[in-house]
Amino acid sequence: MISILILVTVIAVVALTERSVEHLPFAVAALLFDAALLLLFVGDLERSILLSGVLAIAIAGISSVKFHHSALKLTVSDLPLAFAGTVPFFVLQYPRMMLGVLAGAVVFIAASSAILLYAAGSPLPIAFRILLLCLALIVFAKASLSQGVRSLRLTLTQGRSFYATFMASLVDPACWRQFGALALSDIASEPLPLREGLPARSACSPDIIVVQHESVFDPRIFDLPVEPSVEAFLSPPDGEFGRLNVDIFGGGSWQTEFSLLTGLSSASFGSSGYYLFQKGAGRFHSSLPRSLASLGYKTSLISSCRRAFLSYDKFYGSIGIDERIFADELPPPFDVRRFEATNSDAVFLDAVIDAYAKRVAHDPTPRFLYALTNFNHGPHNRQLVPPGQFEKERAFAAASFPDAGYAEYYTRLAQTASAWQGLKERLTNSFPGRPVLIVHYGDHQPVLTKQIERQLKLSGDHRRPFRTFYAIEALNIPDFSPGRGADLDIAFLGTVALQRAGIALDPVFATRASLLDDCGDAYFASASERKRRFHRTLVDLGLIDLVPNARQAR
């Protein structure tokens, strides 16, 4: 009787944490399997059931923390991230959260120890324990085959079924494949024939400047107002603009960079998406810079990070960016140590245009320049904009949403908008006849938007945390049409930039452009069979090496 009462109580607690009737049967089956497995070692039902409940709550708690900071739930393929610098990063960026996790770990250990020491029941024979484990395994395996469990992979952005999602990932081969070679989760068996390349619309090949704004999102996504200067930055009246869907939330900017430059979703590679700059160097042979280089463009990267950051230099070189300049290599008057005190966009963008101007002053060759900023990176509990500057904008933000973190975010955004206006004026005045297409976008939302969403009590939208903005502006390009553009996925932004520049599209980019109607504003989330077949074509042609050295092996 006591065992039954304990089991009912544990199931009720797990049901409260799961908040999903649809996946509760699988969660219960997983709970019983955990209890039966633990029973082998502890010997009695009471402790095994209690320990399985504590374990389920701990998994749900860790998954909830991950969801709050990444908008994605915990799966087994996330476990390697703990050994990839993620934990030290969280300690530095979110010390309060990590203290909470540490406190939770202490509670978990204390509760487990108390159960082991003081909650022992009557021991069961080993043969009976093995029989219960076999029965629980059969029930768990049968529950795992249901359509609802297979669909859990599609609910990673929904704040429910935390325990069930993790347990489902344990029996999902796609999750385990992420530990080895790269694996595309959305790939068909049959290839898609590539379309013929598209010719250029004019003889003019404009420079293409792409700027990624760290942690910048459009406050209007959350129904918060913006001032005219910020509105002109996010939605330029003489440019094309719209919402941008990205694969990440809170961090991992390189995943957005990967998607822009390769035209692929980092999410297609599961947890390997986090490692793509390390595991993917030399394995992606169709890219935006490679396509432009084939048309005679010179390609450059200017990063606000130091050269030693991750595998930036190696990866960018492998996808066709010939010149790679990092913050610790920018010439005076840029001072990297002073810059890193704030990572100011006003300072960095000025250095970017200095470098660009020096290279194009006497060189008519068209250029592709990719610049990566870092100003609005969280946390937002310290003031980076100097006192006395943009105070009106800070007050405007505080009146719109009374939160110090949001006020700091908006103030930095206002400074970026001002620096952006200066960048365009410098380009216009310095090179009055040179055609330039400028693309800029936000790479992901900062963690503070979760708090905004909660406090404003906005209706549930599991895609909202993955929306930022994009804008495309043209200098000296006569046939450019400004106005509200379609909402895009980051995987399509590079292709759209080539279309707006009016230059030729090779067969890969021409085929990717044809997928826009199929996928709309989504890419990974799209169920398009043509997209899956397109991925098969890229693999079959050797443009994606899922296995290291695959090209040499052929």
Look at residue 84 in the predicted model and tell me its pLDDT: 53
Please, are residues 215 and 443 in contact by the beta-carbon 8 Å criterion? yes
Q: DSSP letter string over 163-179?
A: HHHHHHHHT-HHHHHTT
User: Average pLDDT by consecutive 10-residue portion of the chain (554 residues)?
Assistant: 83 87 89 94 93 94 81 75 59 72 91 92 92 93 81 74 89 64 88 96 93 97 97 97 94 94 92 84 96 97 92 95 96 95 96 96 95 94 93 97 96 97 94 95 94 86 91 93 95 97 97 95 93 97 82 40
As beta bridge partners, residue 467 has: 245
The CA distance from 73 to 86, in Å, is: 15
Please, are residues 513 and 495 in contact by the beta-carbon 8 Å criterion? yes
Place of tokens 């069961």: 124
Which helix H or strand E contains 472, and what residues bound it? Answer: strand 467-475
For residue 74, the number of C-alpha atoms closer than 13 Å in the C-beta half-sphere is 21
The CA distance from 250 to 445, in Å, is: 6
Domains of the chain in sequence order: 2-177 (no CATH), 207-553 (3.40.720.10)
What distance lies between CA 87 and its chain's CA centroid? Answer: 17
Q: What Rg value do the Cα atoms of the chain yield, rounded? A: 26
The CA distance from 455 to 445, in Å, is: 17
The CA distance from 246 to 265, in Å, is: 9
Please, are residues 29 and 46 in contact by the beta-carbon 8 Å criterion? no
Q: DSSP letter string over 209-247?
A: EEEEETT---GGGGT----HHHHHHHS-TTSEEEEEE-S
Specify burial of residue 282 (Cβ count, 10 A radius: 0-12, 13-18, 19+): middle
Which helix H or strand E contains 325, and what residues bound it? Answer: strand 323-326
Which helix H or strand E contains 118, and what residues bound it? Answer: helix 95-118
Neighbours of 230 (CB within 10 A): 22
Q: Give the Å distances, CA to CA, from 206 to 356, 372, 497, 500.
A: 14, 20, 11, 10
* Greatest CA separation for the chain: 87
In residues, how long is the chain? 554
Please, are residues 401 and 223 in contact by the beta-carbon 8 Å criterion? no
Please, are residues 237 and 281 in contact by the beta-carbon 8 Å criterion? no
Look at residue 554 in the predicted model and tell me its pLDDT: 39
As beta bridge partners, residue 483 has: 240
Sign of CA dihedral 68, 72, 76, 79: negative
The CA distance from 552 to 65, in Å, is: 43
For residue 500, the number of C-alpha atoms closer than 13 Å in the C-beta half-sphere is 29
Look at residue 278 in the predicted model and tell me its pLDDT: 85
The CA distance from 538 to 509, in Å, is: 11
Q: Give the Å distances, CA to CA, from 375 to 333, 408, 488, 529.
A: 19, 11, 24, 39
Bin 306: left if φ > 0, else alpha if -120 < ψ < 50, else beta: beta
Pairing of β 323-326 and β 298-303: parallel
Give the pair of three-digit tokens for residue 480: 């450019």
CA-wise closest residue to 290 among 323, 265, 261, 326 = 261
Neighbours of 224 (CB within 10 A): 15
CA-wise closest residue to 280 among 259, 250, 301, 297 = 259
Look at residue 551 in the predicted model and tell me its pLDDT: 45
User: Phi/psi at 495 (nearest 5 deg)?
Assistant: -65, -45
Three-class SS state of 188 = coil
pTM of the model: 0.81
Amino acid code (one letter) for 221: I
Three-class SS state of 441 = strand
Q: DSSP letter string over 306-347?
A: -TTSTTHHHHHHHTT--EEEEGGGPPTT--HHHHTTTT-HHH
Look at residue 87 in the predicted model and tell me its pLDDT: 64
CA-wise closest residue to 373 among 420, 333, 405, 424 = 420
Q: DSSP letter string over 474-521?
A: EES-TT---EE---EEHHHHHHHHHHHHT--B-HHHHHHHHTHHHHTT
Three-class SS state of 198 = strand
